[in-house]
Amino acid sequence: MHSKKALIFYVVRSTFVKKDIEILSAQFTVAEFDFFSSKKIGFIISFISQIIFLLKNIWTADLLLVEFASYQSFFPAVFGRLFGKPCLIVVGGTEAHYFPGIGYGNWQKRGLKNFSSASLKLCSHIAPKHKSLMFSEYHYDENEPQQQGIYARIPSLKTPYTEIPNGYDAAKWKCISTKKKNTFITVANGWEYGFQKSLKGVDLILKVAPFFPDCEFAILGVNDPAIFPGLPANVKTIPAVKNDDLVGIFSAYQFYLQLSIAEGFPNSICEAMLCECIPIGSDVFSIPEIIGDSGFVVKKRNVDALKEIIDQALVCDNATLMKKARARIADNYTLAQRNDKLLQLCEKLIQN
């Protein structure tokens, strides 16, 4: 048992949430609360359960950490303020995004907007996965607002922030097979949301694929192929797989496509790059910085711009860029770096 205690709140115990729990568990006794919010009755039950959890644990807690600003972050921020306990909110993406053209982002709905805004104002500190989530100029899709990020939505926000990027295990994510030439893959799920095809840039892939009949394009994360009727002959869908199985799949592909309209700090492109996939990404938020000089950035959201980039990619120095892509992530975004930065920030918040 550790002498310090942290309360962690989340909606889904995803891979990156698990990583943060493991990081904190090295120095804290961790108590977790999974906030369920998929149904209206679930909101009521979850809010009541969360208040009970907080009343039970706030007295012995040294820190409250919330994965993402939304409904689940409001009461932790309130209790942190009332009881003088530091509350840290990790910002991952959607709470910083406002894309009315596709109906995406917390700022699209009154409830999400109000709970997110209040949480970010009340909490002690914000930990965005990339500084662009606080503010960025946006020019990729001319139909969407050109100022993005939390400060664009809450100009008067006074809460301090510290950028802490995701970290990855280069020993786990590595190329384990020979790559098939001229192959492209992207990962996308959440097809229950109408905006997903546009959000993840899958619509662009479907439009550009016919221009490259000798190339193969794959969309990973599609459990029901019927949602993509009339696919081009050189595009295939792959059902969702376990995280550990992604290594083998990424290793077989030459290029990874991250053509999103919006992102926070996307895991898939980083994991694919460690598996020596050459990245092709949209010019949004963290993606250009992740890619660096190891791949290609699409400046505008249209088929002509993407086609031009793919033409360049097909004649690039593959061997050099494959190694650069892996080194880019292995050198700059390690688990140890996130571990150190997160624990240092938590200690600082406790001491203040």
pLDDT, tens digit (0-9, with 9 covering 90-100), for 69-123: 999 999 999 999 999 999 999 999 999 999 999 999 999 889 999 999 999 999 9
For residue 21, tell me if it sits in a domain: yes
Same domain, 126 and 240: no
Domain that includes residue 302, residue range = 183-332
318-343: pLDDT as tens digits: 999 999 999 999 999 999 999 999 99
Residue 287 included in any domain: yes
177 falls within a domain:
no
* Domain shared by 88 and 154, yes or no: yes
Same domain, 321 and 341: no
CB atoms within 10 A of CB 108: 16
pLDDT score of 182: 98
Cα end-to-end distance, the chain, whole Å = 24
The CATH number that applies at residue 234 is 3.40.50.2000
Q: How many CA atoms lie within 13 A of 198 on its CB side?
A: 14
Helix (H, G, I), strand (E, B) or coil at 233: coil
Same structural domain, 255 and 277: yes
Residues 159 and 76 in one domain: yes
Answer yes or no: are the C-beta atoms of 64 and 86 closer than 8 Å. Answer: yes
Helices (H), the chain: 15-25, 40-57, 71-83, 110-122, 150-153, 196-199, 202-208, 246-251, 267-274, 287-291, 303-314, 318-332, 335-351
CA pair distance 171, 187, nearest whole angstrom: 21
Instruction: Give 168-189 as a DSSP string.
Output: B-TTTS---SPPPTTEEEEE--
DSSP 133: G
Question: For the segment 268-315, what is each residue's pLDDT rounded down to a tens digit?
Answer: 999 999 999 999 999 999 999 999 999 999 999 999 999 999 999 999
In 3D space, the residue among 283, 42, 280, 23 whose CA is nearest the CA of residue 167 turns out to be: 23
Q: Running DSSP on this structure, what letter comes out for residue 352? A: -
Domain assignment present for 76: yes
Q: Are residues 195 and 302 in the same domain?
A: yes
Note whether 109 and 191 are same-domain residues: no
For residues 223 and 259, state if they share a domain: yes
Number of domains, the chain? 2
Residue 146 resides in a domain = yes
Q: What is the rounded CA–CA span in Å between residue 122 and residue 132?
A: 21
pLDDT for 161-171, tens place per residue?
999 999 999 99
The verdict on 54 and 156 lying in the same domain is yes
Do 34 and 80 share a domain, yes or no?
yes
Q: Residue 202 has what pLDDT?
A: 97
pLDDT at 42: 77
Residues 87, 62 within the same domain = yes
At 29, phi and psi to the nearest 5?
-80, 120
| Higher pLDDT among residues 84 and 43, named by residue | 84
Return d(Cα 298, Cα 14) in angstroms, integer: 29
| Residue 172 placed within a domain | no
Provide the residue type at 351 as one letter: Q
Rounded distance, CA 254 to CA 187, Å?
14
| 40 pLDDT tier (thresholds 50, 70, 90) | low
* Residue 158 tokens, joined: 């006074």
Pairing of strands 147-148, 136-137: antiparallel
The answer to whether position 178 is within a domain reads no
User: Please, are residues 168 and 270 in contact by the beta-carbon 8 Å criterion?
Assistant: yes
287 and 193, same structural domain?
yes
* Nearest Cα residue to 224 out of 237, 205, 243: 237
> Does a structural domain hold residue 175?
no
